[in-house]
Amino acid sequence: MASKAILFSYTNYPELNANLEGAGVKMSQESMLRHGSFTFDLQGISRAASHQIVRHRIASFSQQSQRYVKVTRSYGYLKPPGVPEDLKVPVEIKGHRLDLNFEDVMDLTRQAEEGLVSKGIKAEDSRYLRPNAATTNIVMSMSPRQLIHFFNLRCAPDAQWEIRDLAWSMYAAVRLASPEVFGPLPAADESDYIKKRVSIVEDLVRKGENGFSKTQPGELFRLQLQPLLELVHPVETFVRHY
Ligand SMILES: Cc1cc2nc3c(=O)[nH]c(=O)nc-3n(C[C@H](O)[C@H](O)[C@H](O)COP(=O)(O)OP(=O)(O)OC[C@H]3O[C@@H](n4cnc5c(N)ncnc54)[C@H](O)[C@@H]3O)c2cc1C
């Protein structure tokens, strides 16, 4: 299952600047970073990644409830691409040895969680069986200044693959939506890895501009990042056109 990074809503800088200039206020580049908000709808990401994301404190979050969303509807999971399909590990349960792959363990925990719910245990307690791989949806809003801080940390090669893929997708989305405020990442000055990828994003965004400009207001434009950006796992990237 692919994750999705949707840039759902964002400050319209050309309009904001024009309105402010009409009122006699000229915004510097630094001021623009302070005045603005970008809202992402991140779908189908693991609880491991969402926990890393909410560590970024200068942001607002709304996360799908595990207490109230029915297990059967919400319980997908994200398998790390580094875990081979056919890799099995031995587990012992009450004297019985089983060889289980990643999927088997996910299925086991899902069945156990649903079993508890069917026996009348509250969803808020049954969910304690849910693993870090279980997927969730989270809406996140950040100012451009904090987003740049987030990208500098999470686009770096030492960031974990899932949050790093999300960060690159989000960076590409804001570069397409708001080139006035998002340029090359400051971290590119110190990392050839980031520098190379920033230039790949620049090319991909340039290729996407024409299609984006033709997208109807309110509709989502899909920004094609693969295979050039070499994300470790599939992240479908969308930008709403205003
Ligand atoms: C590669 C990597 C590995 C990591 N590994 C771990 C790990 O093993 N364990 C772990 O616990 N975490 C880990 N983290 C998370 C990390 O410790 C931070 O929680 C996360 O990066 C957010 O940090 P931040 O403070 O820079 O950002 P934010 O929380 O977004 O804050 C941004 C800036 O705002 C300011 N600020 C925010 N809140 C306050 C406040 N209350 N008072 C004053 N100033 C404030 C600070 O100047 C801060 O730098 C890791 C992060 C990365 C990128």
Ligand 1 atom nearest to CA at 163: 53
Mean pLDDT for 147-151 is 97
What percentage of the chain carries pLDDT values higher than 70? 95
CA distance 89 to 10: 46
Rounded distance from Cα 105 to ligand 1 centre (Å): 32
Question: CA–CA distance from 17 to each of 31, 146, 205 (Å)?
Answer: 11, 20, 23
pLDDT in tens, 108-136: 999 999 999 999 999 889 999 999 999 99
pLDDT in tens, 193-221: 999 999 999 999 999 999 999 999 999 99
How does 109-145 read in b/e, with b if 16+ C-beta sit within 10 Å?
Answer: bbeebbebbeeeeebeebbebbbebbbbbbbbbbbbb
Measuring from atom 16 of ligand 1, which residue has the nearest CA? 55
Which of 153, 154, 166 to probe ligand 1 with, by most ligand atoms within 8 A of CB?
Answer: 153
* Domain spanning 3-66+134-240, CATH class: alpha beta
pLDDT of amino acid 99? 97
Where do the CATH 3.30.70.3180 domains begin and end in the chain? Answer: 3-66+134-240
At 66 the pLDDT is 64
Q: What pLDDT score does 17 carry? A: 87
57 CA to centre of ligand 1 in angstroms? 7
With 0-12 / 13-18 / 19 or more C-beta atoms within 10 angstroms meaning exposed / middle / buried, residue 106 is: buried
